[in-house]
Amino acid sequence: MNTLRPALGIFGGTFDPVHYGHTQPVIVAARQAAVQSVAMLPCHIPVHKAHAPSASRHRLAMLKLAIEQYPQLYTDEREIHSDTPSYTIHTLRALRKEYPKHPLCFFIGMDSLHSLMSWNEWQALFEYCHFVVCCRPGSKKPLSEELTHLLSQRQVSTNNALHNALNGKIFLADTPELAISSSEIRQRIKEKQPTDGMLDPKVRRYIETHKLYQLSTTF
């Protein structure tokens, strides 16, 4: 008898600022993967990127504004309040202790799948979670031999496999390809250009109210 609890989704990022390229593919992928709730996990000290230009409190506030209309998304603040780098393996170990019977589905973009083997203890990640991959611009990049082998071992074609095991699978979702980047948004805001169709208007208003991403801004 399957005694597993409902699967839980996790989607991490710097979210500086959060935009539709973050939220919309995850919502679509969650529906395809039959994952009812996804924790949006903003990091404090990113490992693979430079330090975030804006303070943690602003990134968290913008994220909450951006997802308030989506009941399937919620914030998990464990990383953003940490003073150490946000390694995924550490977060997954903590989550597994909290949710021993819930399959954990870690959402990533196709670009992150290509770089997965550079992650800290990447092979151990599969001991704690499944990966749900959102297709993004650049997803046509040829697969490396190592990644092709990994997919041959772990890729599943139906979402049932994500709910019948705690971890270990890769599910490729068919999500919209939104060519939006936080760096482009920051540049547009600095130049006082519109960001229509790129991020939630409430987030844009927050940015303007707090004068984020401007040359004179101090944190």
Please list the pLDDT of the chain residue by residue as tens digits (219 residues): 458 999 999 999 999 999 999 999 999 999 999 999 999 999 987 766 666 677 899 999 999 999 999 999 999 999 999 888 889 999 999 999 999 999 999 999 999 999 999 999 999 999 999 999 998 555 578 899 999 999 999 999 999 999 999 999 999 999 988 889 999 999 999 999 999 999 999 999 999 999 999 876 444
Query: The domain that contains 178 carries what CATH number?
Result: 3.40.50.620
Rounded-to-integer distance, Cα 175 and Cα 172, Å: 9
Residues of the domain holding 201 = 8-209
Q: Both tokens of residue 151?
A: 């997919």
Q: Quick check: is 214 in a domain? A: no
Q: Quick check: is 49 in a domain? A: yes
Of 138, 158, 154, 136, the closest CA to residue 146 belongs to 154
Dihedral class, residue 24 (left if φ above 0, else alpha if ψ from -120 to 50, else beta):
alpha
Contact by Cβ (8 Å): 14, 47: no
Q: Quick check: is 29 in a domain? A: yes
Coil vs helix vs strand at 65: helix
Q: What is the pLDDT of residue 219?
A: 45
Q: What is the pLDDT of residue 1?
A: 46
Q: Domain count of the chain? A: 1
